[in-house]
Amino acid sequence: MAKGVKTAVIGGVFAVMLGGAGYGAYNIVSAVSGDGAGGATTKKSGPPDAGEIEETSASFFAAWEKGEAAQAASYTNNAEDAGALLTAYGDDAFIGDVEITPGKASGATVPFSVKATVSFGGKSEPLSYKSTLSVVRGQTTGRPLVDWRPSVVHPELKEGDTLVTAESAQPPIEALGRDGSVLTQDEYPSLGPVLDTLRQKYGEQAGGTPGVELAIRHSAAAAGEEPADTPLLTLAKGKPGTLRTTLSAGAQAAAEKAVQQYPESSVVAVQPSTGEVLAVANHRDDGFNAAFQGQVAPAPP
């Protein structure tokens, strides 16, 4: 380990530092207790059986493929949120020609693949990805329903996220390390959120031109800051501007390797004499950037 490197494991975090009622009432109940639409049927209990799982998921997929957002949402246990996101899928993200292929169910969980086309401003690109859904018993009606969560629509979506296709809010950037090497998320996965934030803050200043993208638009942060979009698909490439950073490709590679050894771990490396960040990496299930935003200081070595 290089001179001046300190390591510590505390609270599951591995830190590396260089230095330092009627129909109307039914609608209300549906929204609150998550039972979608329904009618006067005998209420069932217990987990959904295989037939119910297949029928419910097939009905949901069929409505989704047709772009019938409200109908698809009625097969979930949160019709309001599901309807909003599925509507945005077509109206804001301009995703059409949807084909969904279900896989073999494992218990109540159904894997599936999606093939679709994103079209905007005369540009079109194919979109494909895989996701899963689970079928549960509605608490009020006893109907089998898709257990709603945003990741059903796309595996990278989280609570409060939506999908948009438009000219990118900021031009793309080509981030360079301190030695001039190009830093990409593909090579350094932990840098994904960092690169998105750098693009949001410095994309225009870096001199690039925006492209057209399908992106995840995240909900506003608790502090009121607007989080950076996460690009998913490029329809028209923009011209990236060059942005030099203090990051070291070698240190970043070592940091990425280090966090893989510990669950829920984070690493940050800082140049003692200048305070410049040399590397940052996270290995967490919740996606939280503890390396930059964590508030628990590392213990002495």
Residues 207 and 170: beta-carbon distance below 8 Å: no
Its domain, for residue 92, covers 23-160
Residue 37 pLDDT more than 60? no
- Compare 296 and 159 and report the one with higher pLDDT: 159
Residue 23 pLDDT more than 60? no
Q: Which long-range contacts (CB under 8 A, 24 or more apart) does 296-300 make?
A: 296/10, 296/11, 296/13, 298/6, 298/8, 298/10, 298/13, 298/15, 298/17, 299/8, 299/9, 299/10, 300/8
E-only strand ranges, the chain:
5-10, 13-18, 95-102, 109-120, 123-137, 144-146, 162-167, 173-176, 212-217, 230-236, 241-244, 265-270, 277-283
Residue 53 and residue 139 in one domain: yes
* Residue 285 covered by a domain: no
Residue 54 and residue 148 in one domain: yes
* Residue 128 covered by a domain: yes
CA distance 192 to 230: 9
Domains identified in the chain, total number: 2
- Compare 23 and 199 and report the one with higher pLDDT: 199
* Residue 295 covered by a domain: no
* Residue 301 covered by a domain: no
What is the predicted pLDDT for the residue at 56?
Answer: 98
The tokens for 48 are 């959904």
* Residue 279 covered by a domain: no
Residue 215 and residue 113 in one domain: no
CA distance 273 to 66: 60
* Residue 118 covered by a domain: yes
- The mean per-residue pLDDT over the stretch 5-14 comes to 33
Residue 2 pLDDT more than 70? no
CA distance 269 to 255: 8
Which of 24-28, 80-84, 91-95, 252-256 has the least mean pLDDT?
A: 24-28
Q: What is the pLDDT of residues 48-58, one digit of tens each?
A: 999 999 999 99
* Residue 239 covered by a domain: yes
* Per-residue confidence band for 11, with pLDDT thresholds at 50, 70 and 90: very low
Which of 22-36, 119-133, 143-157, 215-229 has the least mean pLDDT?
A: 22-36
Residue 41 pLDDT more than 60? no
Residue 154 and residue 185 in one domain: no
